[in-house]
Amino acid sequence: MKTYELLTILKPNLDTDEADKVIEKFDADLAELGGKVVSRDKMGRRKLAYDIKKSRDGFFVNTVLSMPEEKVADFRRALKLNDNVLRVMLLDVTEKAAV
């Protein structure tokens, strides 16, 4: 299993309970694909550098997760199909960069 870092920007009109439900849905999708959450940081509502889908701010969630490499495409698809998601960035952090 590889380790990934997922930065998700949710719609700003969600309250904390609704945002938690969306995050629980991500966890359920991840568990279904054989992955697990290592850590999570709910960074809260922040102003965006530019408008995304007519939104000036968003609810940021940073998650470190591990999942099989062959299931990443399915997980990305599940994230993009969710209407409450403005933007998603999924990075492979298994290997550290040499400095």
**Rounded Cα distance, 83 and 28, in Å:** 16
In a domain, 63, yes or no: yes
86 domain residue, yes or no: yes
Residue 54: what pLDDT? Answer: 87
pLDDT at 95: 72
Domain span at residue 17 reads 2-92
The pLDDT of residue 93: 87
Domains contained in the chain, number = 1
3-state SS assignment for residue 76:
helix
Is this model's pTM higher than 0.95 or not? no
User: Positive or negative, the Cα torsion across 59, 68, 92, 64?
Assistant: positive
10 lies in some domain: yes
- Which has the closest alpha carbon to 35: 63, 6, 66? 66
Q: Is residue 39 part of a domain?
A: yes
Residue 99 counted as domain residue = no
CATH of the domain at 42: 3.30.70.60
Mean pLDDT of successive 10-residue segments in the chain (99 residues)?
91 88 91 91 90 90 92 91 91 76
CB 29 within 8 A of CB 78: yes
98, part of any domain? no
Q: Give me the pLDDT at residue 98, please.
A: 67
Task: Answer whether 42's CB lies under 8 Å from 20's CB.
Answer: no
Count of other CB atoms within 10 angstroms of residue 10:
22
